[in-house]
Amino acid sequence: MRRSGRVVRRRRGWLTSLAHHAAAIRRDTLDVLSAIGDEHRGHPGASLSIVELITALYFDIMRVDPARPDWPDRDRFVLSKGHGCLALYVALARRGYFDPAELRTFRSVDSLLQGHPDMRRTPGVDMTSGSLGHGLSTGVGLALDARQRGSPARVYVVLGDGELQEGLVWEGAMAAAKYGLANLTALVDVNGLQSGGRVSETMPIEPLAAKWRAFGWRVTSIDGHDLGAIVASAQRAMSQSRPSVILARTVKGKGVAWMEGNNRWHQACPPRDAPSESLATPAPRPEPRLLASTRAAFGDAVLQLLRAGRDLMVVTSDTRSSMGLDAVAREFPDRHVEVGIAEQNLLAVAAGLAAGGRR
């Protein structure tokens, strides 16, 4: 087929071959996560849900050349949900951008492979990312640059669904529509979970398709683990006259029975040689007596103040669990406001709450 000046020819068995790559990337991702241990723990759930998206992009859709990572006309990839980067690194290593032996240095000091993507350190990474919400805007810039240079390069941005709570995403979406960036495709990893729980409870983002459509984008909804569907929808996006978004329904922790849909594996170290069927929650390690976390101490102190009758409001940005405030939210639900992953909203809402005279 010929799309947007590009000829795509497929060999027989291409889909089976893609599935083989995806399985290998999933296996290697788990191996690395186990090998690096708890000290360097990555994000298993968020890495595993994007394996098919990454595989389809790097082993079929994108025009790249690992021997020439700086080729000006290569397609570009931005992992806006940068915390899922291990799946990307595994795919890059498998495509030959660097030695797969590097993978086990992930998150260690002096590694090529940073905790979130770093375009200056890792061959094959086109854009630095990691602070949620920025990838679509950097993708807009990359797409504008390609257009201005007359380059056929296309730009692919993978976002998380929780990430869509960041307002900046929608600023980027507006800009892409304004400039009719047909060379820009966004893929949203709709796994329904974020750090602190369900997206629908933390900060609802639906109706997602209607939102993107209203922002001027062409919208496709697919099964994000269906390699054929990912390839087909990305191909269709190439012949459009405006930016396209692929809403890819996925399962967080996909491929590992005991991780699927279980948010305990948002950030954690999977056990080595874990059974693939079921696994009891690993027993917590005994706590050394003279160690304690300051953010846990903070959460406890806030809880004590509320119990003592202090007139306080507590506002979180998907940080309820990670900042030790679960007990506060449970015991004082009317004192807790959750704004989702949206730090500017967080501080501005707090300003309003405080301007009401509250301590």
Partner 1 sequence: VIVATYATFASMRALEQLRTFIAYPRLRVIVAAGLGGLSGGIEGVAHLGVEDLGILRCVPGLTILVPADAPETSALVRGAVEVDGPVYLRLGRDDSPVLFDDPVERRIGSGVVLARYGDDAALLTQGLVTAEVLAAAAMLQRSGLDTTVVELPTLKPLDAALVRAAVAETSLVVTVEEHSVVGGLGAAVADVLFDRAIGHRIGLPDQFLESGSPGELRVKFGLTADAIAAHVRVLHATGAGGPRAQARQTARR
Residues lying near partner 1 in the complex (CB under 8 A) are found at 39-42, 82-83, 107, 114-116, 118, 128-131, 287-288, 290-298, 300-302, 304-305, 310, 312-317, 319-320, 322-323, 325, 343-344, 346-348, 350-351, 353-355, 358-359
Rounded Cα distance, 142 and 144, in Å: 6
HSE-up of residue 102 (Cα within 13 Å, Cβ side): 20
Question: By C-beta, is 101 or 291 nearer to partner 1?
Answer: 291
Bridge pairing between strands 314-316 and 2-3 = unpaired
CB of 79 to partner 1, least distance (A): 12
CB of 182 to partner 1, least distance (A): 30
CB of 310 to partner 1, least distance (A): 6
Question: By C-beta, is 67 or 290 nearer to partner 1?
Answer: 290
Burial label, 72 (beta-carbon count in 10 A; 0-12, 13-18, 19+): exposed
Question: By C-beta, is 84 or 224 nearer to partner 1?
Answer: 84
Question: By C-beta, is 280 or 308 nearer to partner 1?
Answer: 308
CB of 43 to partner 1, least distance (A): 10
309: which residues sit within 8 A by CB, 6+ positions away?
none
The beta-strand segments (E) located in 35-96 are 76-79
Question: By C-beta, is 254 or 320 nearer to partner 1?
Answer: 320
CB of 39 to partner 1, least distance (A): 7
Residue identified by tokens 């909203």 is: 345
Rounded Cα distance, 138 and 193, in Å: 24
CB of 129 to partner 1, least distance (A): 7
Rounded Cα distance, 249 and 230, in Å: 11
Question: By C-beta, is 223 or 326 nearer to partner 1?
Answer: 326
The phi, psi pair for 14, rounded to 5°, reads -60, -35
Question: Do the Cβ atoms of 41 and 267 come closer than 8 Å?
Answer: yes
Helices 227-238 and 14-36 pack at an angle, to 10 degrees, of 110
